[in-house]
């Protein structure tokens, strides 16, 4: 029979919070309207505090390559892009019919994301933290709005083949659990990486019960996403000026906004305002 003192000591289980480092990377959600700087901010994570870091982008829009071509060649070499948007092959040889039949192949696109995330998790498992304790690099999904939308359409079209609909053909609420589960599987693999993670989202208008536009934007995202990230920011662009507006975080509710800076500037601002140094 075991005695009480045979188990591990409480000090071996619990560590003083002051001794814990923020060494699991920043998990960031970024949203905005079109062409407000989501991809630009994401790509800036390739150079953190003047150190080049490997950066992997799962690109659903085919736009990352356009952004990276504006960057120095040394940075371009550190950014690896997986273009996961796949199209179904037309079943006709008529050029006009081919154009009409060109549509997204959801299964192939989602499978491409699966393959890309599997490849990233392999790299992550084989890459130790940097000698200075900082995160080895950054993983980006641009955009997570597409990922969630694709999963919704995938579900509507039958999902895994076991989706049940009502007599009227509508999707029961409980069936959305299948899309939620697959979305969570994608995100959780990245959350556990210890790398910085940036998820981008498109924005949509907030309306009241009467359908009136309240002149406020919100991210088009799966409902639990904000619980999984450390910070949510909204981007805006007026003329040549970019701004990051803070919309919730785990660092003491950082107020206001900052302008014309990239990922390093964001990390520095978090440390300046909250005292939290993210490695």
Give domain limits for the chain.
Answer: 22-274
Q: What integer is the mean pLDDT of 119-129?
A: 87
| Fold of the 22-274 domain | Rossmann fold (3.40.50)
Q: Which of 87-96, 149-158, 229-238 has the highest mean pLDDT?
A: 229-238
Segments of the chain assigned E as strands: 27-32, 47-48, 51-52, 55-59, 79-83, 138-142, 196-207, 213-219, 231-238, 241-249, 257-259
CA 22 to chain centre: 19
Give the pLDDT of residue 92.
Answer: 56
pTM for the whole structure: 0.84
Locate all alpha helices (DSSP H) within 69-175, ordered by sequence: 73-78, 95-101, 106-126, 144-156
Residue range 41-69, pLDDT digits in tens = 999 999 999 999 999 999 998 889 999 99
How high does pLDDT run on average in the chain?
85
Q: What integer is the mean pLDDT of 105-111?
A: 85
In this model, does residue 99 exceed pLDDT 80? no
Give the pLDDT of residue 38.
Answer: 95
Least confident residue range of 75-79, 89-93, 122-126, 266-270: 89-93
Higher-pLDDT residue of 97, 44: 44
Give the pLDDT of residue 272.
Answer: 94
């Amino acid at each position: 029979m075991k005695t009480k003192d045979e188990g591990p000591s409480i000090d071996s289980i619990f560590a003083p919070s002051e001794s814990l480092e923020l060494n699991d990377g920043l998990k960031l959600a970024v949203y905005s309207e079109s062409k407000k700087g989501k991809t630009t901010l994401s790509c800036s994570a390739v150079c953190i505090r003047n150190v080049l870091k490997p950066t992997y982008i799962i690109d659903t829009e085919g736009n990352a390559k356009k952004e990276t071509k504006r960057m120095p060649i040394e940075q371009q070499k550190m950014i690896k892009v997986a273009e996961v948007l796949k199209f179904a092959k037309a079943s006709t040889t008529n050029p006009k019919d081919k154009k009409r039949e060109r549509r997204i192949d959801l299964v192939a696109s989602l499978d491409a994301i699966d393959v890309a995330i599997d490849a990233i998790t392999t790299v992550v498992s084989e890459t130790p933290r940097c000698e200075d304790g900082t995160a080895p690099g950054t993983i980006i999904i641009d955009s997570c709005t597409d990922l969630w939308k694709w999963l919704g359409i995938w579900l509507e079209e039958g999902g895994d083949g076991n989706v049940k609909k009502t007599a009227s053909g509508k999707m029961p609420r409980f069936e959305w659990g299948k899309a939620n589960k697959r979305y969570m599987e994608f995100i959780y693999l990245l959350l556990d990486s210890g790398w910085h993670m940036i998820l981008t989202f498109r924005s949509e208008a907030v309306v009241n019960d009467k359908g009136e536009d309240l002149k406020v934007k919100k991210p088009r995202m799966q409902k639990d996403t904000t619980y999984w990230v450390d910070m949510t920011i909204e981007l805006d662009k007026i003329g040549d000026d970019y701004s990051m507006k803070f919309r919730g975080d785990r660092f003491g509710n950082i107020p206001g906004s900052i302008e014309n800076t990239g990922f390093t500037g964001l990390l520095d601002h978090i440390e300046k305002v909250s005292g939290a140094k993210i490695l």
